[in-house]
Structure 1
Amino acid sequence: MEAAIEVRRFDTPDDAIDMKEAGGISIVKMGDGTTGMRAVFEPGWTWEKDEKPLLGSPPTCPMRHTGYCITGNLVVRMVETNNETRITPGDFFEIPPGHDGYVDGSERVELILFAPPEDGH
């Protein structure tokens, strides 16, 4: 039996995180459990203000993110060391847990994020 090709779309997500005027995250799950996310953060978005409350207010973001930046400037800070990294269009990135972040500038940030099946979101 031939394996089937699976196609999913972010405009018909399985789940979504609505951050109102600050943006949102559309989440699709593939048959094998792999997760894809399209995150849009508007100018002025901060993890602390716009996403932390939706996650139950952990001290830092508890997730690992692997992804690609399409537009905008996102500054991600590792909270323990206060080390900041700027993520810009064209960057493929890996962010460990224990961070927060904010949109820098007047352009919206758009990211595509990937998570393997064993990584619960």
Structure 2
Amino acid sequence: MMEVKTIDKPDERRDFPRGHLEALHLSGLDFAVATFEPGWRWAESIRPLAGTDSCEVRHNGFMVQGRMHIRMDDGGEFEVGPGDVFVTPPGHDAWVVGDEPVIMYDFAGVMATEYARTQG
């Protein structure tokens, strides 16, 4: 079955401190557009919702705008910027670098279904 949706009309929106996520749910794919404002950091904005010490979501991402620094629990670090395609395994913290908002597309599916939901 063929499906087409537009990011201009997301199926749902999740707001969290200094950012939000808009998700599209298709057969076999959950797609997310995440926006993070300057000053956003996973440990401060999402940790209280996730209830974990670090982000346990795998990200298959494409960075549209802005810069983000990612630090893995094992000490590895990298930075992604516009045009970068990246994979980040579970077990990391991340934060916006600079004064420009980050816009990121996430194709993992898990971000659109679980990210920034209150765990209970």
**Shorter-chain TM band:** 0.7 to 0.9
**Residue equivalent to 1:92:** 85
**Runs of 4+ off more than 6 Å:** none
Query: Per-residue deviation at 1:82?
Result: 1.9
Contact 1:11–1:26 (CA under 8 A) maintained in structure 2: no
CA contact (8 A) 1:75 1:101 kept: yes
Corresponding residue of 2:9: 12
Partner of 2:118: none
Distance 2:109 2:49 in 1: 22
- Pairs aligned (count): 113
Query: In structure 1, what is the equivalent of residue 117 of structure 2?
Result: none
Pairing 1:78–2:75 present: no
Contact 1:74-1:86 within 8 A present in 2 as well:
yes
Distance 1:65 1:29 in 2: 16
| Cα displacement (A) at 1:84 | 1.4
After TM superposition, give the deviation of residue 59 of structure 1 in Å.
Answer: 1.0
CA distance in 1, matches of 2:11, 2:49: 17
- Shift in Å, 1:72: 0.5
Considering only aligned residues, what root-mean-square deviation do their CA atoms show, in Å?
Answer: 1.9
Distance 1:39 1:120, change over 3 A: closer
Matched residue type, 1:50: S
TM-score, scaled to structure 1: 0.84
Q: Note if 1:54 corresponds to 2:49.
A: yes
- Residue 97 of structure 1: how far off its partner (Å): 0.2
Specify which of 58, 64, 69 is matched with residue 63 of structure 2: 69
2:113, 2:16 → 1: CA distance?
Answer: 20
The higher radius of gyration belongs to 1
CA offsets, 1:87-121, max 9 Å, x none? 0101000000001110010000000000258x963
- Cα distance in 2 for partners of 1:76, 1:17 equals 22
Unmatched 5+ residue regions in structure 1?
Answer: none
Q: TM-score by structure 2 length? A: 0.85
> CA separation in 1, counterparts of 2:82 and 2:21?
18
